[in-house]
Structure 1
Amino acid sequence: MNTPAPTLTLLTLNPRHKRARADLTDVNALHKTLMKLVPNDLGPSPRAASGLLFRIENGTTPAILTQTHHQPDPTRLPRNYATHQTRSLTPTLKALRSGLTVHYRITAAPVVSLTAHATPHPVTGRTRGKLTSLTGEPAISWWQRRAAAAGLFPLTIDATPMRSHFRRSDTPGPYASLTRFDGVARITDPTALATALTHGIGRAKPYGAGLLSLTPA
């Protein structure tokens, strides 16, 4: 069965809504709220099955850009939580072609696995390095590699550290530090890019990372 084309929904939050204000300070609660947009019966990994990706957009009025494989149902959100605008990602996917120049934006979790601190998994026994968050130039280098694998060649990169949306007690290690990458890029592999747009890039997707957006340059 083919994965349906994703749907983008921009939720402009009501700053007077108690739940909306609370969600902006607790990304775990925000994730639970956004999962109300999709059906309940999605199996043992509902986020992955729903294709939910989201990004907090800071502005004069806080907003959340979400992407789902299923047609979202904003009526399941708390009453007066947000206004919404929805559109299909299909036109963007159909417009991808090699050599096209685009503006991009993604909030990502640049991390590296340090094998010097590798420890065996308590169940599988497989050795895995310690995940460590990257900032500054190492984070930019991380994005250059991931962009290349996703079919993009960045021409410009603006890296902005994002403030934490975790409560102190809920900070999930390396994923507490996110970076927003903005810039201009040239498409090198439309097929790989379509996959990246549909499924996201990198880790920490339940924490507001991985959603790649493109607009014409």
Structure 2
Amino acid sequence: MYLTRFRVNTARPGARRLLGSPQRLHAAVMSSFPCLLPSDAQGATAPSGGPRVLWRLDHRARAEVLLYLVSPDRPDLTHLVEQAGWPALADPETPGWETRPYTPFLDRLTTGDRWSFRLTANPVHTIRRTEGEPRKLTAHLTPVHQMGWLLKRQKDAGFQIVEKPDADRLLPGGTTYKTKTEHHGDRYELTVGDQRSRAFDKPGRSAPSGRKPRPVTLVTVTFEGRLDVTDPQLLRRTLTQGLGRAKAYGCGLLTLAPLARTA
């Protein structure tokens, strides 16, 4: 497994085209692996359900956008450097991206470890407006429900979100209730932000005769916080297979970082 970081040159027209379409960026990411045939690129996962290609965009600032990849094979991002990087500065020693082996880090994970984490995800659920109507997949749009979406998945993902000490909670117990809906806003070391709604065309999507296919609509949010490792094996699976839906479009990649030191 490999972890890769690429800084996008947002001033270039090619970069703006890629950033404007998750479909284009997905195709560009999958083109980084010579071993993948075009027919394999859409799934981006092994037939056995093993590690897959995951990617995520981190918008640190307007002019600082980082692309992260986790992949079973080492990528070649030469084409991305030419389209959306700094090709004049590239050389064999610094080709325009950084790739490091990821497996040694994964192997060191142990129960009880505490990490900072970052995850961009597509929190969704199914609803039925009327009795007998087929259930429809729809996005969670409020931070409370988006947070609940992640909390419901933490056990099966091999981690537990850290709870705040009572002294650090603004609300009594950190949790309030309204119409039987749990609000987690002050209970956990967890924030939800950078909500984005994107609509884009997906090649090959069919529609009734004479009509234009409806675009794919994708709502994403970014979670940040602290977690404890509860099951290293499950967490390794989460880190290499992703969490949630829309993995082909930049969702599901969970990354860990050491906790910031405090004085």
Matched, 1:90 2:93: no
**RMSD between aligned residues:** 2.5
Q: Which secondary structure does the structure 1 equivalent of 2:45 belong to?
A: helix
Which letter maps to 1:48?
Answer: T
Aligned to 1:188: 230
Aligned to 2:15: 20
- Distance in 1, matches of 2:256 and 2:55, equals 14
Shift of 1:170: 7.1
Cα deviations by residue, 1:114-154 (Å, 9 ceiling, x for unpaired) = 3567989xxxxxxx731111132111111011122111110
Shift of 1:40: 5.2
> Does the Cα contact within 8 Å between 1:38 and 1:73 map onto a contact in 2?
yes
Matched, 1:129 2:169: no
Q: Structure 1: where are the runs of 5+ without partners?
A: 1-5, 121-127
Of 7, 30, 52, 1:35 maps to: 30
Aligned to 1:3: none
Rg larger in 1 or in 2?
2
Shift of 1:63: 1.6
In the TM superposition, structure 1's runs of 4+ consecutive aligned residues that sit over 3 Å from their partners are 40-45, 115-120, 164-171
Alignment of 1:135-214 (within 5 A): 135=141, 136-155=143-162, 156-167=189-200, 171-173=215-217, 176-214=218-256
Q: Structure 2: where are the runs of 5+ without partners?
A: 86-95, 163-188, 202-212
Matched, 1:45 2:40: yes
Q: Which secondary structure does the structure 2 equivalent of 1:77 belong to?
A: helix
Aligned to 1:66: 69
> Does the Cα contact within 8 Å between 1:27 and 1:166 map onto a contact in 2?
no
- Distance in 1, matches of 2:132 and 2:250, equals 27
